[in-house]
Amino acid sequence: MMKLLGLLLLLLLMLASPAAAPAQSASLGQAIRAGQVGERYDGYMGFAVTPSAEVRRQVSAINLRRRNLYIELAARRNVNAQVVGVATACQLLRQLVPGEAYLLPDNVWRRWSPGQPAPVPEQCG
């Protein structure tokens, strides 16, 4: 069962990542690389600084797709969507590229640097 959940989470990551968004603009990519937009501990993207309207719109669209996928997967696994979001965040945070921003449960935005351990919350194990 854990293997199936892992495969489903991998599929979810591929579908919900910003890179998979077909209409991702250059401005969203730049905001991610600049550490202005990043991954949160709950499986959603957030804003380390106030973004442009275009970036805010795109992040909102990504988060909406993620929420819908979390709800769908949660229903199949008989858990709540928050559990799926946190499990997904554990994987997304392990995939950060140096310079990308992330938010842990202490609500402090940080930027990941090479040589640091993967920035995962305690609940990720």
CA within 13 Å, CB half, 60: 7
- Cross-strand pairs, 47: 37
Q: Which two tokens stand for residue 22?
A: 């077909």
DSSP states along 13-55: HHHHSGGG-TT--HHHHHHHHTTSEEEETTSSEEESSPPPHHH
3-state secondary structure of 124: helix
**pLDDT confidence of 119, banded at 50, 70, 90?**
confident
Work out the pLDDT band at 1, boundaries 50, 70, 90: very low
pLDDT one-digit tens code per residue, 46-87? 999 999 999 999 999 999 999 999 999 999 999 999 999 999
